[in-house]
Each structure stands twice: as C-alpha cells, then as structure tokens.
Amino acid sequence: MEPHIKDKKIEYRGMDYKPNMWHSFFTTWDSGSGLVQVWFDGQPSIKKFITSGVSISGPVIIILGQEQDSHGGGFDARQCFVGMMSDVHMWDYTLPSCEIQNYVDDRNYTPGNVLNWKALDFQIIDKVLIENKIAVCY
C-alpha cells in the first residue's frame, strides 16, 4: 500500500492480504500535521509523516483501478487493478477511528462527502461489470 499525497508517497508493508477475499482499506491524511495512517480490515497501522501544510486544489480527478503517470492520463494497461471493488468513499476531513470502525463493521456511517459510492456518476471504460452489493448470509 502506497498512499500518494501530491508528489510524495509513503510505503506500508507487511499487511496480511489474502487474495480472493473482501478487504477494507482506509487511508487518512491530516494536511495540518502531515500524518498518514492506513487501516486494513479494521486494524490501524502506525502513523507516518508524509507532507504537511499543503492542500489539494485544482481540478479533481478520481481514478479507480488504474495507475496514472500524469494528472488524469498516462495510463498503462499493465498497471491496472484486476479484481472487485465496492463502497468507495472519500471525505474532505480525517475520519475519527470510531467512524472507520463503524464502516468496517457495516454499521451506520457517514457516506463520503467528496466521493459517495452510492451516488457515483462514473464513466465505464473497457471491461467493467457493475453489480449490486452481495449480501453476506450467516
């Protein structure tokens, strides 16, 4: 996992990622302090410093499932995500840990105010299958 903020990135290694299973990923970044934290399946990582005192401005382009080499472009098919994703949200503030845990546990949570998966206006390019969320039966 490598969160990118502007032209900076930071690595998180050693996560217990198991293929062919659903996982939850969160990345938080506080622009004032510069602290980044990754949450994997409800477990927080250590906090690391990346960059502080900067804001994200200009035209917003959110690309899911494809690495980009330039802002909004420079795509290489060999650098694409192959798999399934669901319930992607983005907020313009750092979520408290209790709110992250509510999301992970599929309890009541505040949908993203920048990106809300359920209200997403998207463009499908190439081979993408859209399905409704599959209910987990116990």
Sign of the Cα torsion 85, 90, 94, 99 reads negative
pLDDT 10s digits, 58-95: 777 777 776 666 666 667 777 777 777 788 888 989 88
Mean of the pLDDT values across residues 16-21?
81
DSSP 8-state symbol, 53: S
Bigger pLDDT: 54 vs 28 = 28
Domain that holds residue 65: 4-119
Q: Is residue 115 part of a domain?
A: yes
Q: Is residue 81 part of a domain?
A: yes
In the prediction, which pLDDT does 33 show?
A: 92
Q: Is residue 93 part of a domain?
A: yes
pLDDT at 30 over 80: yes
CATH number at residue 93: 2.60.120.200
Q: Is residue 55 part of a domain?
A: yes
Q: Is residue 96 a contact partner of residue 102, using CB atoms and an 8 Å limit?
A: no
Tally of structural domains, the chain:
1
Poorest-pLDDT segment among 34-38, 42-46, 131-135: 131-135
Q: Is residue 130 part of a domain?
A: no
**Other CB atoms within 10 A of residue 116 CB:** 15
In the prediction, which pLDDT does 9 show?
A: 79
Q: Is residue 137 part of a domain?
A: no
Average pLDDT, the chain: 81
pLDDT 10s digits, 97-120: 999 998 888 888 889 998 888 887
DSSP 8-state symbol, 19: T
Sign of the Cα torsion 68, 42, 21, 11 reads positive
Q: Is residue 124 part of a domain?
A: no
In the prediction, which pLDDT does 72 show?
A: 61
Q: Is residue 13 part of a domain?
A: yes
